[in-house]
Structure 1
Amino acid sequence: MNSNWHEEAYYTIRTYEIDSKKQATLPALVKLMHESAMQHVIKLGVSVWDLEPHHISWVLMRQQLSVHRLPRLGEQIKIETYPSGYERLFTYRDYKVYDAAGELIAHSSSTWVLMDTVQRSLARFPGFILEMLQLAPAPELCLPRPAGQLPKMEKTDHSLDFVVRWHDLDYNDHLNNMYYLQWMLEALPDELLNHGRLRAFDIQYRAEAQWKDQVRAEVQHLPNGRMLHRLVRPDDGKELALALSEWE
């Protein structure tokens, strides 16, 4: 794989990234994945700041995560990330997380689009990005792309309400995608949060949440250790995100 196309970043798990079991939380680990990707697109010259003059920006649409184990406090990890192809309006990026012994402990595939920052709608890839995407590795060298439909939520077993604060916003001036994931997890029952082992998380982002929006996180129990999650804006009933998690 072309070395410029492939980013490696090293991190040590810090005290503010762990839970009571002294292991990194899933939101903390995903933040490090996204930080690695941000540093990579800066090097490639296609970061959100490079795209700002073109009035476009990257937006995450879906992310599938598989977790073999979460790293512990003080543990050093390596994150590899690279763009893994594109089709029509969608581009893909993979992440692989290794421990110090070189063992794969988590991996993720993700789907991204470009947003027109003026119209707040999907944008086509400009020529200079299409040229770059032609260099993507062959599909057989990449993780499977996010695919398939998530189940439709039929009832709510647990819920929790939030308000989007100013410090929750990102560079696109909407709710940071990390809070979607974090708020979904917050609404889970105490027993699962304290004693469950998360094995997979698949999240689809459907709509933006803005400053001061009311947001409700809803959870439905499914068979075989699965949980269905949804974020909805109660004021207009708009579904903001849907996710499926798998637990042991």
Structure 2
Amino acid sequence: MLIHPFSIYAFPVKSYDSDQNGKLTLQALFHFLQECAWDNARINDFGFEYLEEQNAYWVLSRVLIQIDEYPEWKDEISIKTWPKGADGFFALRDFLIFKDDKVIGRATTSWLILDRESRRPRRLDSFNFIHENFLKENSIDIKLDKIIIPNELLKHDQRKVYPSDLDVNKHVNNATYVRWMLDAYFSNHTELISEFEINFLLELLLNDEFSVFYGVNNDGTFYTLKNIQDKEVCKARLIAGI
């Protein structure tokens, strides 16, 4: 049985979490969500430390975020998170984002447990994850799926992974991929993003080189990162306008 079916965390929006207009950045929000997920998993005994003993670790695989209002520098927000069960290899977790007791955003996510040696997914029922008292609430009533990228893409730029891009798992952190895509988006746009969806597919490691591509269709603006083998590392869809 889950000890803590849900948790609520408070975050002050610092200057370094804000963009040039004083709004919370999406990459900072990804950091907040990750901290919420890690801590709720920890207090329910299936967190980083537990998986480390099992020679495994959590990775974020799919995310959909919807934002109604961006908090600003010096605001304080709270985030409610809860694990809501499993779908095959995917562990499901949702979030609600509050400012002054008002919901200003929501997110639904899918996670995988990877083996540290093989880097391959491991079954959730091999770990202390399956419980009877998962909350059955949905912050966004949708099942996350693969993002379909437009056929026609343009290259935006080429980059390389540096030590500051890595996290404790020695690969690029999920929020860093988001930052790279936002760099590409805000190079040509000023509108804030109301919906952001991303699939993480492959790891990038220190000194890896990759390219950022983009395309547009009726479903939104799309970005994909490809490594030097021309394989997709991650891909995202976003909708602008709040």
TM bin (shorter chain): over 0.9
Identity of aligned residues (%): 21
Q: Name the SS for the 2:185 alignment partner.
A: coil
Q: Which residue matches 2:68?
A: 68
Q: Name the SS for the 1:95 alignment partner.
A: strand
On the 8 A contact 2:62/2:200 being kept in 1, the answer is yes
Q: Which residue matches 1:161?
A: 158
Deviation track 1:97-134 (CA, whole Å, cap 9, x = no partner) reads 0002x111111000001101111111112445244x33
Q: Which residue matches 2:192?
A: 197
How far does residue 69 in structure 1 lie from its aligned partner after superposition? 1.2
Separation in 1, partners of 2:139, 2:104: 17
Q: Within 5 Å, give how 1:18-37 maps onto structure 2.
A: 18-37=18-37
Separation in 2, partners of 1:244, 1:134: 34
Aligned length: 240
On the 8 A contact 1:158/1:187 being kept in 2, the answer is no
Q: Which residue matches 2:224?
A: 230
TM-score w.r.t. length of structure 2: 0.92
CA change 1:3–1:114 in 2 (3 A) is: closer
Q: Name the SS for the 2:140 alignment partner.
A: coil
Q: Which residue matches 2:148?
A: 151
Q: Which amino acid aligns with 1:216?
A: S
Q: Which residue matches 1:212?
A: 207
Unaligned runs of 5+ in 1: none
Separation in 2, partners of 1:128, 1:228: 35
TM-score w.r.t. length of structure 1: 0.90
Structure number with higher helix proportion: 1
CA change 1:189–1:21 in 2 (3 A) is: closer
CA change 1:71–1:142 in 2 (3 A) is: closer
Q: Which residue matches 1:82?
A: 82
CA change 1:24–1:141 in 2 (3 A) is: closer
Unaligned runs of 5+ in 2: none
Q: Which amino acid aligns with 2:147?
A: L
Q: Which amino acid aligns with 2:150?
A: M
Q: Within 5 Å, give how 1:74-113 maps onto structure 2.
A: 74-100=74-100, 102-113=101-112
Q: Name the SS for the 2:128 alignment partner.
A: helix
Deviation track 1:19-52 (CA, whole Å, cap 9, x = no partner) reads 1211111111121111111121121122122211
- Measured on the aligned residues, the alpha-carbon RMSD in Å equals 1.8
Q: Name the SS for the 2:175 alignment partner.
A: helix
CA change 1:119–1:190 in 2 (3 A) is: closer
Q: Which amino acid aligns with 1:238?
A: K
Q: Does 1:243 align with 2:240?
A: no
How far does residue 4 in structure 1 lie from its aligned partner after superposition? 1.2
Q: Name the SS for the 2:31 alignment partner.
A: helix
How far does residue 142 in structure 1 lie from its aligned partner after superposition? 5.1
Q: Does 1:173 align with 2:167?
A: no
Q: Name the SS for the 1:83 alignment partner.
A: strand
How far does residue 157 in structure 1 lie from its aligned partner after superposition? 3.4
How far does residue 180 in structure 1 lie from its aligned partner after superposition? 1.1
On the 8 A contact 1:10/1:76 being kept in 2, the answer is yes
On the 8 A contact 1:60/1:205 being kept in 2, the answer is yes
